[in-house]
Each structure stands twice: as structure tokens, then as C-alpha cells.
Amino acid sequence: MTDSLSSSNSSFDSASISAADQNVVRSQRSGDGGGQILASVTSRRWRDIFWLAVFMLHLVVLGCGLVVLGLNRFKKTDRLNIDRYTARFMEHHRGLTENYWPMYAVAGGVGTVIGCTWLLLLGSHANEMMKVSVHILTTYLAVISVLCFWGEQFFWGVVFATGAAFQFLYVISVIDRLPFTMLVLRKAVKMVLSLPEVMRVAYAFMLVMLLWLGLWSFGAAGVVASSMGDGGRWWLLVVLSVSLFWTGAVLCNAIHVIVSGMVFLVLFHGGREASSIPPNSLMNSLRYAVTTSFGSICYGSLFTAAIRTLRWEIRGVRSKIGKNECLLCCVDFLFHLVETLVRFFNKYAYVQIAVNGKGFNHSARDAWELFQSTGVEALVAYDCSGAVLLMGTLLGGLVTGTCSGVWTWIKWRDRVSMVGSTTMLMGMVLVGLAMVVVESAVTSIYICYAEDPLLIHRWDSEFFDQMSEMLHHRLQYRSARAREVLTHNRRLDGHIQQMPPA
């Protein structure tokens, strides 16, 4: 253990000597390879075809199921005579699909308005909106929790109260990182604003998502109106929600690949107006995202969001534990387990997919090894931009779910939990499609900085200096922490050796 810490310490020492020296080395290394990276775009092969087939099959099967579930209660109870298969779970409920479908329509409208408003205000008030997301989310969760307890929805009251507590603790644990995070987000917004065509892509994908949500909510409303008991309805809604989450993640990551490809091209060629940028670059990125790379997108969308969220939470807890050795040991075990998973499932893979057209796992490993070898991983770990954007997505989903939930409470009080939870997910998906535009720019900036820092310097020299300074600071911090751990372990080894034998 001491030997491994010694090697880790020496690597941190060498890495923290000078961030500027590292930048020069990386510039020389990637300067020759950049052309090869872009050249490989013209010879792409289909990747992760199995997951593409699984996703498409899932859409077909689920689509048929949604039609059946919705039609069975549309304007007539048990139109398709399905209730005979659920006789043992019957409640003799005579609800109709059209009783609940309007609540989902409200959710679709509110989520779309919030998402479109975010995109429209991206240039003028994006910074204020992100700050509101960070500071208001805790309060909003607490208020929803109180309303749930008041409405005798004790389970959801506990869920939202726990969420408010975790959100508060997380913000406290990363409060010192927020200035740098906001700096990165402002620069990402600047990049996105220089590419108005990617905004149109986001609007188009929101329209596609709305069309699917029309069918999805039709089936979900049929489930809520069905004559099954609460257990059966909840299980069906969970299955539908998992499907919606996967579908929404696939569309978000398709936008991610498109935007990442465009941002990389702009940075590599030195600006949006550069004559060297290939013609029809947006259409090429779109074509690759929905054809050869779509299987990789479907595969990565299953895991990256959950693993990334778990990593944020563990990092926040780990930084505030202090000297509690037992708790620190447990959290470190979870931390290293999640870090291993991150090596194979991370959002930076989508930039590599956009640029190189490789498979998902290959792209994820390459991106992580690039960060590890250049030291940029220290900067990525310090940045909380993904968490801040997720807070905005959660807040949009909560507002959407609240609007539909209040209407359901007025008309069908016994169905408020089912409608409120599913419409909240609808809102999160729609708002997430807007948020992912900025997140894609952030990830592309980090990949480009790791590949060739001069790409960032040529785009924004002041931002390059700020990133380099922060990277140097983080590497020095890690080096000092590694020396502290090494010294502590040496003292512990010496103490154990001095103890008399039993």
C-alpha cells in the first residue's frame, strides 16, 4: 500500500510542477493527431448494433402496449375486454383514459414552455437561471414535502424531505466550487450562442419527444384509469417510466453527440466562420448521431446518468467526512467502485463518439485515459456544471409535476401520486433536452483542452489562463493530499512495528 502511495505521490508531484509545461506537451502530442481524428469521420462503421436493435424493438413493443392500454379505457370501460385478465386484482374502478389524459397534456405543455424558455433566455439570463436552480431547488423540495404531508401523502412527503436534505448537503459540500463552475457554464453558453443551428436541433428533438409523449401519456392515462389495484398500476407505471427515462436519455445524448461534433469542429478550426470547416457539418453530425452512432448512444444512455449522479453524491460526502476513519474507509470503497464504473460509462464518451465514431465503451475508456494521463481529470472532478444543470432539470420537472398534480388533486384526489410522479418525469425529460445543449459544450471544452490546450487558447485566451491556473491549483492540492496520506501511513506502519508482539 505504501509503495502504491509513493508512486501515486511521485506522479502527483511531477504532474503539479507546471500546468503550462503539460499544456505544451499535449499541444505537441495532439497537434499531429487532430487531423487524423477528423479524417476518421469520413469512414464510420455501425457501432453497438445489438443495443440499437434492443432499443428499437423496445419502442415497437411498448408503442403497441401503450395503444392497447389507452384504448381499453377510451370513452368506454374495458373496450378491449382486458379486465378479465386482471379479475383477481379488480377494484371495479370505472375511470376513463380521457379523465387523466388532460393532466398529462398540461405536463407536456408546461415542460415544453420551461424548456423553450430556457433556450430562448440562454444568452441573456442563463447565469441567473442556473443560480436560481441551485438555490431554489432545496426550498421547492421542502415546500412540496410539506404539501404532501398536508395532503396525507406520507411516502412522498418523506421522499421529497429526504431529497431536500440531500440537495442542501450537496450544495454546502460544493459551495466553494460554484464560482469556477459558473465560469465554465458561461463559456459554454458563449459557445452555444455562436452555433444557433444547434438550438434549432434542440427544438426539433423536443418536438419529436412531444410526439412520443402524446402516445406515452395516452397509455399512462389508461393505466391510471384501469381497474387493477394500486399495486398493479404502480408496477405498470414503473415500467413505463423506465422506458420513458431511457427514451429521453437517448434523445438527450443524440443532441449531445450532435452539439459535441459541432463544438469540436469550431474549436479545431479556430472559429465558426473559418473557411476550413467542412460544408454541411451540422447535417453530417445529425446523420452520424441517428445512424452509425445511434447504437452507442442507446447503450450509454442506460447507465451514464445513474452512475454520474451517484459519483457526484459520493464526491460531495467524501469531501466533508473529515477524520472519521471508519466512515472514510466505507465511502472510499464506494468511491473507487464508482470510479471504476465511470471509466466505462461517462458522458465524455459522447464527444469521442461524435469525433471518432467509435463504440461507447471504447470511447469512454479513451476519454478517461486522456483525462488521467494529462491531469485534466482533477479539473473535471472539481467542476460541478453537470450537477448544476441537473438541478435545473429537476426543478423544471418538479414545477411540471406540481401543475398536473394540483389539478389531479382537485378532480381525482386518489390518483394524485400516480399522475404527479409520472408528469414530473415528463417535465424532466423535456427540460433536459434543453439543458443538454450547454452540457455538451462543457464536455467538448474539456475534451479539447485535454487534447490540445491551444484550441481553447485560440478561442478564448483569458478562459484558457483561468483553466490552466485552476488545473495547476488542483494538481498541487492532490499532490499535497497524497503526501499527507503517505506520511500518515508511514507513521501508522512505524507504530505497528513498535508494538510488542502478543
pLDDT single digits (tens) 323-349 = 555 666 666 666 666 666 666 677 888
Specify whether the CB–CB gap between 282 and 201 falls below 8 A.
yes
Tally of domains within the chain: 1
Q: What gap in Å lies between CA 152 and CA 408, rounded to an integer?
A: 15
Higher pLDDT: 8 or 491? It is 491
Q: What gap in Å lies between CA 54 and CA 294, rounded to an integer?
A: 12
Within a 10 A sphere around the Cβ of 410, how many other Cβ atoms? 9
Q: Over 70: is that where the pLDDT of 146 sits?
A: yes
Q: Over 60: is that where the pLDDT of 232 sits?
A: yes
* 86-90, 211-215, 255-259, 435-439: least confident range: 86-90
* 95-104, 329-338, 413-422, 430-439: least confident range: 329-338
Kindly calculate the radius of gyration of the chain based on its CA atoms and give it in whole angstroms.
Answer: 25
Confidence at residue 462, expressed as pLDDT on a 0 to 100 scale: 93
Confidence at residue 316, expressed as pLDDT on a 0 to 100 scale: 60
Q: Give the SS3 label for residue 321.
A: coil
Of 190, 183, 143, the closest CA to residue 163 belongs to 143
Packing angle between helix 154-173 and helix 126-150, nearest 10 degrees? 150
pLDDT band, residue 314 (cuts 50/70/90): low
Q: Over 80: is that where the pLDDT of 78 sits?
A: no
Instruction: Flag whether 497 is in a domain.
Output: no
Confidence at residue 32, expressed as pLDDT on a 0 to 100 scale: 41
C-alpha cell at 298: 442507446
235 Cβ neighbours under 8 A, 6+ residues apart: none
Instruction: Flag whether 45 is in a domain.
Output: yes
Bin 391: left if φ > 0, else alpha if -120 < ψ < 50, else beta. Answer: alpha
Residue with cell 447504437: 295
pTM value is 0.81
Instruction: Flag whether 340 is in a domain.
Output: no
> Domain of 358?
35-75+95-303+345-454
Confidence at residue 297, expressed as pLDDT on a 0 to 100 scale: 92
% pLDDT > 90, the chain: 33
Instruction: Flag whether 189 is in a domain.
Output: yes
Instruction: Flag whether 193 is in a domain.
Output: yes
Confidence at residue 23, expressed as pLDDT on a 0 to 100 scale: 44
pLDDT band, residue 4 (cuts 50/70/90): very low
The string of pLDDT tens digits covering residues 244-253 is: 999 999 999 9
b (16+ CB within 10 A) / e for 140-158: bbbebbebbeeeebeebbe
Instruction: Give DSSP secondary structure letters for 193-251.
Output: HT-HHHHHHHHHHHHHHHHHHHHHHHHHHHHHHSSS-HHHHHHHHHHHHHHHHHHHHHH
Higher pLDDT: 338 or 162? It is 162
Average pLDDT of span 452-473: 91
Instruction: Flag whether 354 is in a domain.
Output: yes
Q: Over 90: is that where the pLDDT of 79 sits?
A: no
Instruction: Flag whether 10 is in a domain.
Output: no
* 136-150, 346-360, 485-499: least confident range: 485-499
Q: What gap in Å lies between CA 67 and CA 79, rounded to an integer?
A: 12
Q: Count of residues for the chain? A: 502
Instruction: Flag whether 338 is in a domain.
Output: no
The string of pLDDT tens digits covering residues 9-67 is: 444 344 433 444 444 434 444 444 444 444 444 567 888 899 999 999 999 999 999 99
* 91-95, 155-159, 416-420: least confident range: 91-95
Average pLDDT of span 349-360: 85
Specify whether the CB–CB gap between 195 and 262 falls below 8 A.
yes
Q: Which contacts qualify for 74-83: CB closer than 8 Å, 24 or more apart? A: 74/98, 74/222, 77/227, 78/227, 82/226, 83/226, 83/227
* 167-176, 206-215, 434-443: least confident range: 167-176
39: phi then psi, degrees, rounded to nearest 5: -65, -30
Specify whether the CB–CB gap between 133 and 112 falls below 8 A.
no
Higher pLDDT: 17 or 187? It is 187
Average pLDDT of span 315-328: 59
Confidence at residue 46, expressed as pLDDT on a 0 to 100 scale: 87
Of 502, 497, 485, the closest CA to residue 8 belongs to 485
Q: Over 80: is that where the pLDDT of 468 sits?
A: yes
162 Cβ neighbours under 8 A, 6+ residues apart: none
The angle formed by the CA atoms of residues 342, 348 and 354, to the nearest 5 degrees, is 140
* 89-98, 135-144, 361-370, 414-423: least confident range: 89-98
Confidence at residue 72, expressed as pLDDT on a 0 to 100 scale: 83
